[in-house]
Amino acid sequence: MSATTDKQIAEILATYGEPLAGNVWRVQGTAVIYHKALERIAAQARIRFDAPVIVRAERDEAVILVTGHMPGANGDRTEWSIGEALIGVNYRVSAKQAAYVFAMAEKRAKDRVILKLVGLHGLLYSEDEADEFKASRPDLQPAAKAKGGREPEEEAAAEPAEVAASEADLSGEADLKAQIDRAKSINAVTDLMLAPETQARLAAMAPGLRDEVREHAKQRLVSLGWPAKSRKAAAA
């Protein structure tokens, strides 16, 4: 992904109060964004969706048409997209997971519509677009698995006590926050948060602490002049 593309993505995300750092990672040069980040962007952009249209419904397959609308200066913009999920083809599940083909098809369709409406389509992809994207999530990498020896789906079912912050977590959080505070520019903060070492350290943290570090980075970006969210710009 080129520096120019990075800049385009960062500028669009900034319009909706979302930084590049902590929301986007790369898979073999392809930029990928968290589904939750797209949901937040949709809320900021006041995107509304029509009732989905079921195109195909089988036991192991769902195809859904989704249409979305976003208010703008010259009236609503409208985009539509198809979401598909077929077990064993473009939707893999392990023996320990339940398969929710309709939910996955809906997420894929909605994410594609959001990307189209806000101008990110073609610049990056949703994590749910492909199994390899989701599997490469920074918080699901080996550093996170090694901590408890669990598969990602098992981690989600862990008891609260098992994912509580350890002293090492707290120390790592404080160290990362200190590095963020020492960063003297927006690019320095972004480079720090996108660095493989930082991603590995974040992946090894308890979810709550990881979110705190990302929010700290966002606040540091704002203090360095990173543009805050702008509803007026979003509606333009």
Q: What does pTM read for this prediction?
A: 0.67
Instruction: Give the amino acid at 43.
Output: A
Q: Is the pLDDT of residue 110 over 90?
A: yes
The percentage of residues in the chain with a pLDDT greater than 90, rounded to a whole number, is 39
Q: What local confidence, expressed as pLDDT, does residue 98 receive?
A: 81
> 174-191: buried (b, 16+ CB within 10 Å) or exposed (e) per residue?
eebeebbeebeebeebbe
Give phi and psi for 214, each to the nearest 5.
-65, -40
Is 190 or 204 the better-scoring residue by pLDDT? 190
66-75, 104-113, 221-230, range with the lowest pLDDT: 221-230
CA angle 26, 24, 114 (to 5 degrees): 115
Per-residue pLDDT band for 234 (boundaries 50, 70, 90) equals very low
Is 62 or 168 the better-scoring residue by pLDDT? 62
In 3D, which of 184, 165, 169 has the Cα closest to residue 225? 184
pLDDT digits (tens, 9 = 90+) for 121-178: 999 999 998 877 877 777 666 544 444 444 444 444 433 433 444 566 677 788 889 9
Sheet containing strand 24-27, strands side by side:
24-27, 30-33, 125-126
What element of type H or E holds 3? helix 3-15
How many domains does the structure of the chain reveal?
1
- Say how far apart CA 51 and CA 54 lie, in whole Å: 10
Concatenated DSSP letters of 157-216: T--GGGGSPPHHHHHHHHHHHHHHHH--SHHHHHHHHHSHHHHHHHHTS-HHHHHHHHHH
Q: What would the two tokens of residue 119 be?
A: 């101008």
Q: What would the two tokens of residue 217 be?
A: 């980075």
Handedness of CA 183, 175, 27, 83 (dihedral sign): negative
Judge residue 29's burial from the number of C-beta atoms within 10 Å of its C-beta, 0-12 exposed, 13-18 middle, 19 or more buried.
exposed
Q: What would the two tokens of residue 177 be?
A: 């926050």
Assign 60 to helix, strand or coil. Answer: coil
- Say how far apart CA 167 and CA 190 lie, in whole Å: 26
On whether the CB atoms of residues 115 and 121 are closer than 8 A, the answer is: yes
Per-residue pLDDT band for 229 (boundaries 50, 70, 90) equals very low
| Residue 29: alpha-carbon gap to chain centroid | 16
The domain in which residue 100 lies consists of 3-235
